[in-house]
Structure 1
């Protein structure tokens, strides 16, 4: 899974990225395109399993986070969207607009004033224009190709592209259009910008802690047709938190009235948007979190561990994390009737602990 951080220059995007990077396993940098970090997904459930089994290794789930270079003012004193910027944005499964709401006279906003609603509208409009241009060109090409060929795929694609084009012309992002699995599959190679799941992360300063809920409520109301999730965060505070011990972090968050860190919010929201969840494998050698799509069967989940497990699947031993913690061991879970054997069609739940039986 890849998420891209997008925003204007001096929005706090890179500070947020550095906060996420404090939990990274390795990094890779390309200033012309994006800075990339593979970030461990914190999971208290996995930590608790490791405390019980004391394994040789704990393996968290990971996501890739891309810090896409911030948009700057051009020579004609306008913020300009470049092709290289759009290419970097397209290569992500979900997008996070990082929007500036903090005030700092020493850091000049590219548009000279602080206006979160304006910045959100600017990004949405530019990305929508890009999608409209692509769809218009694609429509022309399909119609030309259909004169030369009787390709059935083109006949299926034409009404879909027309539907998207008409929706985008109403100034509505494509993520708000209901599509079935077949249509999503047809569009998968096109990387349309406003079709991607979107989170709008608004960066406040500590003076706004008391009013942030009301401010976010206003933005949600204004952009209710965007199909986006909204997350308020405090970049400077979050970065300080990322450098602290767990004990100090909890005290600091309590003092500032912060209930959840930006890292947890971003990762949790990313999973929800992309329809993902985690299951666990546990033992003395390793405790590991595995990322799967919601509604995956036990056999499909087994295939994520190893392809042989999918092909030679027999049964899955299953107990949910909550039950395992409640009873304290697999033996006690069996006695309580919450440990069970499931077949290949069993739908795996978020937090299930699995042991795969296979040939």
Structure 2
């Protein structure tokens, strides 16, 4: 998964990137041309426990890629995102829009005043206008093709639906598209098809205050599609904690009343918003987590490991992580009848431990 971190300058965008990746501030390159990119391990406790059970030669956690893009507005100037910026963010799976909610007289907000609702609206509008321009350009072409008698009625109707939604200021990811329509739209790389998470960046003293709670409610009421996508974080203190050892970090988080680190909370949120789950393969050579779309058929999940697994798929031997832990091993689970043989259409579930049987 590729997660793009974006926002205005001085919003704490890069500070959040440092908190999520454990990157020290001095590691950033000045005057970079593209985004800073960092791959982090998804520290799933289930992988750790499976590794303790199997003692494999290799343990492989799932990974996430974070991209820290340059500020949307440069040198405090007002204006929409330019085409080069929009193009650069087109190949990510989800946005994390860092919105400043903390006061700082030393580093004032580039637009003159801290106003989270305004900042969310600006980005929301820019994404919609970007997609609307693509839709309108394509519709012009389709109208010409229709007059020439070409079979474009289905695509025309689909894009007219998209245009109507965008003109009503609705993200395309809020529409209910069938599988065939989603496939048609895939090539357009519409930005509003991607999930958007708003990271409301506050000072540590603002955590849990009525002011921040009311602000969060106001944003969700103004933008219902952000329901369960608002992420309150004190990026500066989380960045400092991320530089500590795991033991010291846990103590500091507890003192602040933070149950989960920013990294863990955002990972869980991204998995949920993107509809991703994890299944596991185990053995003495390797214990590994695999990230797939929720509900992916077993044969397709096998193909994520290797194309031969999908091509020669016979059966999937499946047990849930919980049952495997409870039984203490595969042999014990087999004796209790907890191992299942599933066919190619079986929808893989989060936490499944799978051995694929195949023949090529």
TM-score range, shorter chain: over 0.9
Tell me how far 1:330 sits from its aligned partner: 1.4
Cα gap change, 1:258 to 1:328, in 2 (>3 Å): same
Provide the C-alpha distance between the structure 1 equivalents of 2:253 and 2:296, rounded to a whole number of angstroms: 36
CA contact (8 A) 2:80 2:126 kept: no
Deviates more, 1:15-24 or 1:308-317: 15-24
**Structure 2 residue 48 is the aligned partner of structure 1 residue 47:** yes
Residue 97 of structure 1 is matched in structure 2 by: 97
Residue 115 of structure 1 is matched in structure 2 by: 115
Cα gap change, 1:162 to 1:227, in 2 (>3 Å): farther
Residue 222 of structure 1 is matched in structure 2 by: 222
1:239-271 CA-partner distances (Å, limit 9, x unpaired): 122222222222211110101111112221111
- Structure 2 spans left out of the alignment, 5+ residues: none
CA contact (8 A) 1:198 1:228 kept: no
CA contact (8 A) 1:73 1:79 kept: no
Provide the C-alpha distance between the structure 2 equivalents of 1:52 and 1:23, rounded to a whole number of angstroms: 32
Tell me how far 1:228 sits from its aligned partner: 7.0
Equivalent residue pairs, number? 354
Residue 33 of structure 2 is matched in structure 1 by: 32
Residue 205 (structure 1) aligned to one of 199, 203, 206 = 203
Residues 172-211 of structure 1 correspond to what in structure 2 (within 5 A)? 172-211=170-209
Provide the C-alpha distance between the structure 1 equivalents of 2:253 and 2:336, rounded to a whole number of angstroms: 38
Cα gap change, 1:228 to 1:89, in 2 (>3 Å): farther
Residue 164 (structure 1) aligned to one of 148, 153, 162 = 162
Deviates more, 1:240-249 or 1:306-315: 240-249
Cα gap change, 1:225 to 1:57, in 2 (>3 Å): closer
Residue 261 of structure 2 is matched in structure 1 by: 261
SS at match of 1:323: helix
TM-score (norm. length: structure 2): 0.92
TM-score (norm. length: structure 1): 0.92
CA contact (8 A) 2:302 2:356 kept: yes
Residue 318 of structure 1 is matched in structure 2 by: 318
SS at match of 1:90: coil
Residue 281 of structure 1 is matched in structure 2 by: 281
1:103-144 CA-partner distances (Å, limit 9, x unpaired): 221112111111111100111112212222222221111111
RMSD: 2.2
Provide the C-alpha distance between the structure 2 equivalents of 1:305 and 1:218, rounded to a whole number of angstroms: 44
Deviates more, 1:14-23 or 1:158-167: 14-23
SS at match of 1:172: coil
